[in-house]
Structure formats: structure tokens, C-alpha cells
Amino acid sequence: MKARLRRLMPGSLVLLCGLLGYWLVRDATPATRSPSPRKDLVATPRKPLPEAPKPTKSHVRDRFPDGTTIEVFGSCRKEELILRFPTEASYNSFLHALRRSSVRLIDRLDILRAIRIGFNAEEMQVLAALFEDEQITTYKTLTRLPEAPRAGGGASLGAVAFGAQVLPWLGVTGDNSRWGKGVKLAVLDTGILPHPALPPITRSIEIFPFPKDPMTTHLHGTAVASLIAGKDPMVRGVAPAVDLISVRVLDDRGISDSFAIAAGILAAMDAGAEILNLSLGEQSDSPLAGEAIRMAIDRGIVVVASSGNEGLQEAKYPAAYAGVIGVS
């Protein structure tokens, strides 16, 4: 029996080892799965990031005779500039570009192709882009009231002050109460306040608004009006019967700029003024104010302006313009 078992054992062991090897190989081999259908991946195109909008520039660059494409004038108010263009085409082209920017359009004088713009510190770069490729000429001076004559020099040297006696100083001795009747005269100044010694103000135009408290108004304009049209027997003006038009173009510091002066002249013309009085001036020429002055003179309007109280040989502008009557 034992001998028989010895004969069967080797074969049984071989069989067991074979079966064990089969099981080990089967468990070690990964199960074969049916392949799932492949999905083709389609790349989604990436949308480009939006670019920062670039300020639109004017595409029309006509020129003044000196080659300038834009004249830039100083403003009497902070963070403002005044621009003037040589042609209507270049003016409208710049306005189109300006509307697409963050720079503010404050006011415009279409007939003179001039605008007043406002900007803050952050918008300086936008403004620089609008001015790119432009040929710019700047005019920095501001219009001011004439300085009071200084004792010992200037206009006071050898001059005779008339004080409250303007008519005797001018040699007027008769009755002038009807002088100026039917004539419309505009005083472009700090504005005229109503006063019993003045005729009624037929129209008051405010390029710069009056202060809320009338008592704080600069009285230069009212004083000038009294010399022209005062009707008090003690202080009678030259033309008491004139129709007074008040045009406030100076603020209460006595300062203005070319845009305000030009706007005041145009407004006075629209109001039917026949005489313009500008007791103000600046040292250098302003082509913007100068063009408005020429328009008034071409229409037959008499323009009278202060030549200054400093006693200088050269008159200030606008008194220095051809056709303007300069007084001091």
C-alpha cells in the first residue's frame, strides 16, 4: 500500500503544482475588458482678452497760417483748458474724438471753433493721447482788471484825476441828460449791480455767475457803469440815457480768460449792443479774443478798451487791436 502511494505521490505533486501555477498566473493577469468607444476631444478656441479701449484721435489736422493745428489757451479755473481750431472740419473731428473720451466738454463757441474742456489728474494721459501728433501753440496769459495807478509813476505821473467830476474834466458844461438815448452799450466787466444812480439794466448776461451774496460782488463793473451812465445830479455820467447791458466776464478776483471774453463779446452782439466797453486787458495777443473783436468791428460795433494804467508805451490787448479805441 505504502509502495503504491509512493508511486502516485510524485504524479499528484506534479498535478498539484501545475494547478497551483495555473491559478497563480490567472490571478496575476489583469482581466481583459472590452474597449469602450473613444471620444474625440475637440479643443475649444480661447476667446481673446478684450483690449483696453484706445482714445480716438482726430483724423483732420488742418493748420493755422503758422502751422499750428490746435491753439491752447490758459483758463482762469483749475483743471481746464481752452482749445481753438483752424477750420470747422478739424473742430468737428476733434469734438467727435472728445465724445469718445473721458475728458469733459464744458462749453463751446461753434462760430469761433473754440471749446472749454475739463479734466482731472487721472485723465491727463487721455488728454495727452488726444493731443498726439498735433502741432500745438500755447497762450498762457489771463485777462485782468487794470492795475490802479501808482503814486509817483506810471499813468499817475502828470495825470489829472477827475474823481467825481468826469463831465467838467471832459469839458461838458451843458445838459447831457439825454445823451445816449436809444443806444445799446454793453459793459464787459465784473457785472453791473442795480443802483438808484444808474439807469435800469436792460439785460444782464452772466458768462461767470454772480456770487450768491451780492454784497461780495466785485464792484468794478458797477463803477465803470456809473462813469458811463450815472444819472445822479452829483455824479452824472457821460451818457445817462443809454441802454445798459451788463456782461459779467470777470470773476470776483478780477480775472478772466480768452474764452470768457470771446463768449461775452458774442453774447453782447446777440443782445444788439452797438458799443462794447472792456475795461480790462492782458499783456499779449489772444487770437481767440482777437477774432471775436474783429467780428464785432466788422459788424460796425464800436469797441472801447483799457490800454492800461501803467503808463507803458504799448497798449494792452484788446486795446492794441486795430480798430479798437484804447483809453487809460
Q: List the CATH number of the domain containing 233.
A: 3.40.50.200
Q: Give the model's pLDDT for residue 148.
A: 67
Parallel/antiparallel/unpaired status of strands 143-144 and 255-256: antiparallel
Are residues 117 and 168 part of one domain? no
| Alpha-carbon span 113 to 287, nearest angstrom | 12
SS3 189: strand
Report the number of distinct structural domains present in the chain: 2
Beta strands 231-232 and 325-327: pairing type? unpaired
Cα–chain center distance at 193? 28
What is the length of the chain? Answer: 328
**Beta-carbon-side half-sphere exposure of residue 224 (alpha carbons within 13 Å):** 29
Q: Give the span between the Cα atoms of 229 and 242, in whole angstroms.
A: 7
Range of the domain at 75: 70-139
Q: Are residues 100 and 189 in the same domain?
A: no
| Residue that finishes a domain, picked among 83, 107, 139 | 139
Q: pLDDT tens digits, residue range 58-102? A: 788 899 999 999 999 999 999 999 999 999 999 999 999 999 999
User: What's the pLDDT at 141?
Assistant: 85
Pairwise CA distance, residues 106 & 87, whole Å: 20
Query: Quick one: CA dihedral 270, 94, 317, 227, positive or negative?
Result: positive
CA 305, CA 187: separation in Å to the nearest integer?
Answer: 10
Residue 50 lies in a domain: no
Same domain (yes/no): 132, 230: no
Q: What is the pLDDT of residue 73?
A: 97
Are the beta carbons of 303 and 262 closer than 8 angstroms?
no
CA distances from 175 to 141, 169, 327 (A): 43, 15, 24
Instruction: Quote the pLDDT of residue 325.
Output: 96
Residues 114 and 233 in one domain: no
Distance of alpha carbon 205 from alpha carbon 247, whole angstroms:
5
Instruction: At 57, list the grid cell.
Output: 484721435
CB of 188 within 8 A of CB of 276? Answer: yes
0.85 exceeded by pTM: no
Express each pLDDT in 159-188 by its tens digit.
Answer: 556 666 778 878 888 889 899 999 999 999
**Within the chain, which residues score under 50 in pLDDT?**
1-34, 36, 38-43, 49-50, 52-53, 156
